[in-house]
């Protein structure tokens, strides 16, 4: 195992990571500036948002004072730069709806989102691979057609709709799973058992929303591999169908799929936004939606940047894995 680790091309991989980190700086700068520019062009007034209902009765003098305190009277570039410099030192501002520092909001919630997303992703890989291999085994057969049609249908179905129907069936009709939240309303302590039972439905629905991609790509990859020379060679040597399918076709067919996993981060975030909202999961995506509903700019800006960073990280992971899987590609990107 140790020798295998040592054989990895650490040098080129580190250089690629470094280059991507350098590229991420201008991207994140551009995205943060874009976020501020959109807010500046919109009718949104941060002073009124901060003051809330008190802003309706406050005197103009108080509002002007607040405007100065918040720095809103500064030009766009100045406000962006101020936000950026304090963000670098770890101060992302205060959420206007939750009345607590943005960094605390993120810190409290990100763990639950990662738990949900990771569980859903693992589930999607397992089920997607199984269905994809079954479909690829006999292209055009009834199983292939059933699995492919199911994948297309699920791809077209909105995840929030699947989530609501799942709540209806499993929580209301069958009464076997809780309909939302992290724990039962009666209990105050967060126990592993409670979290696990509350995780089942949201993770399954998020997995279903990611499933079509895995199924279709595994089917394609394994289907292509089944026609390649190594598989024909294995068949010619008289190996068992099972060995050919799992030992040869799946191994070479899965490679392109596994390497592309990192590039699925945007879709995962999109799915999480909807699924966390349906199931009142206390994660970061649900916080994004409530921040948007309440026009909580500091929180929304930070979460948009965070999501962008996650996407860049996913792309890097995909390219590193791809370079590892196929040495011809290398680490020059």
Among 165, 176, 190, 196, interactor with other proteins by CB under 8 A? 165
In contact, 47 and 70? CB cutoff 8 Å: yes
Does position 157 bind other proteins by CB under 8 A?
A: yes
The DSSP 8-state label assigned to residue 94 in this structure reads: E
Residue with tokens 């990771």: 118
E strand or H helix at 10: helix 10-41
Span of 13-21, 114-122, 240-248, 305-313 interacting with other proteins by CB under 8 A: 305-313
Distance CA 308, CA 277 (A): 20
Shortest Cβ 302–other proteins spacing (Å): 12
Q: Among residues 13 and 309, whose Cβ is nearest to other proteins?
A: 309
116, 125, 133, 167: which one contacts other proteins (CB under 8 A)?
167
Residue choice 13, 27, 98, 110 for contact with other proteins (CB under 8 A): 27
Question: 158 burial class (0-12, 13-18, 19+ CB within 10 angstroms)?
Answer: exposed
CA of residue 163 relative to chain centroid, distance? 17
Task: Tell me if 311 contacts other proteins by CB under 8 A.
Answer: yes
What is the distance in angstroms between the CA of the first residue and the CA of the last residue of the chain?
28
Count CA within 13 A, CB hemisphere, residue 231. Answer: 21
| 274 is a site residue for other proteins (CB under 8 A) | yes
Q: Give the span between the Cα atoms of 149 and 143, in whole angstroms.
A: 10
CB burial string 215-224: b at 16+ within 10 A, e below: bbbbbbbbbe
Contact 256, 218 (CB under 8 A): no
**Residue nearer to other proteins on the CB measure, 125 or 312:** 312
Contact 94/51 with Cβ under 8 angstroms?
no
**For other proteins, which is the closer residue by CB, 55 or 256?**
256
Task: Rank residues 243 and 293 by Cβ distance to other proteins and give the closer one.
Answer: 293
Told to check if 227 binds other proteins by CB under 8 A, we report yes
Does 249 participate in binding other proteins (rule CB under 8 A)? Answer: no
Size of residue set near other proteins by CB under 8 A: 60
Closest separation between CB of residue 266 and other proteins, Å? 4
- Binding residues (CB under 8 A) for other proteins: these are 26-27, 30-31, 35, 38-39, 42-44, 138-140, 152-153, 155-158, 160-161, 164-165, 167-168, 172-173, 179, 216-217, 220, 223-224, 226-227, 256, 260, 265-267, 269-270, 273-274, 277, 288-289, 291-293, 295, 297, 300, 303-304, 307-308, 311-312, 315
């Amino acid at each position: 195992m140790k020798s295998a680790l040592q054989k990895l091309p650490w040098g080129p991989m580190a250089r690629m990571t470094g280059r991507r980190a350098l590229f991420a700086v201008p991207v994140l700068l551009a995205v943060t500036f874009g976020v501020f520019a959109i807010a500046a062009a919109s009718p949104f007034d941060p002073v009124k948002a901060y003051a809330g209902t008190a802003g309706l009765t406050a005197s103009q003098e108080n509002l002007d004072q607040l405007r100065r305190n918040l720095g809103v009277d500064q030009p766009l570039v100045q406000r962006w730069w101020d936000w950026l410099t304090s963000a670098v030192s770890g101060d992302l501002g205060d959420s206007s709806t939750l009345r607590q520092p943005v960094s605390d909001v993120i810190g409290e919630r990100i763990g639950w989102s990662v738990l949900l997303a990771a569980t859903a992703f693992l589930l999607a890989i397992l089920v997607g691979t199984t269905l994809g291999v079954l479909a690829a085994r006999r292209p055009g057969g009834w199983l292939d057609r059933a699995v492919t049609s199911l994948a297309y249908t699920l791809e077209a179905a909105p995840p929030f709709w699947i989530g609501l129907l799942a709540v209806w069936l499993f929580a209301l009709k069958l009464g076997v799973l809780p309909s939302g939240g992290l724990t039962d309303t009666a209990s105050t302590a967060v126990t592993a058992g409670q979290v696990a039972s509350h995780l089942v439905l949201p993770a399954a629905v998020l997995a279903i929303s990611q499933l079509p991609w895995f199924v279709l790509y595994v089917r394609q990859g394994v289907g292509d591999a089944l026609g390649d020379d190594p598989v024909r060679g294995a068949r010619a040597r008289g190996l068992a169908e099972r060995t050919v399918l799992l030992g040869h076709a799946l191994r070479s067919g899965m490679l392109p799929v596994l390497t592309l996993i990192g590039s699925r981060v945007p879709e995962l975030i999109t799915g999480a936004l909807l699924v966390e909202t349906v199931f009142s999961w206390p994660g970061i995506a649900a916080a994004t939606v409530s921040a948007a509903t309440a026009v909580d700019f500091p929180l929304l800006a930070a979460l948009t940047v965070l999501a962008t960073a996650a996407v860049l990280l996913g792309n890097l992971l995909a390219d590193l894995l791809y370079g590892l899987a196929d040495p011809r590609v290398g680490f020059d990107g």
